[in-house]
Amino acid sequence: MSENKQTVELYIEGFNEGNDAKILSCLTEDVAWYMPGFIDIKGKTAFAGEIHNDAFTGKPGITISRMSEENNVVIAEGAVKASFKDGNQLDAVFCDVFEMENGKIKKLYTYQMNR
């Protein structure tokens, strides 16, 4: 497995474990994260502020079903489940596009749809 794919797996592991340090270790200092209509942030500090969403409780369950890589771009498809504090559940599928630089995530585009 390539270094870039290993970084993406480590990043997802960090979310599943609730390990902020692991997540942040996968990012460049000037990382950018875009989720159309929801997230548009730049910088590791801003990213750290988005790791935990106050609407949720506990750790998410994120699985990757497929990863592809070409020219320092990793595309990961998968599913995420999480519990809202109000008792509802998030059950969604996603496609994340990771632009990599020196084995770290420089840009992340997240596309997500509830199932």
Predicted TM-score (pTM) of the model is 0.95
**67-88 per-position pLDDT tens digit:** 999 999 999 999 999 999 999 9
Q: What is the pLDDT of residue 52?
A: 85
Residue 18 pLDDT > 90, yes or no?
yes
Rounded Cα gap, residues 56 and 83, in angstroms: 6
From the list 51, 44, 14, 3, the residue with the least C-alpha distance to 27 is 44
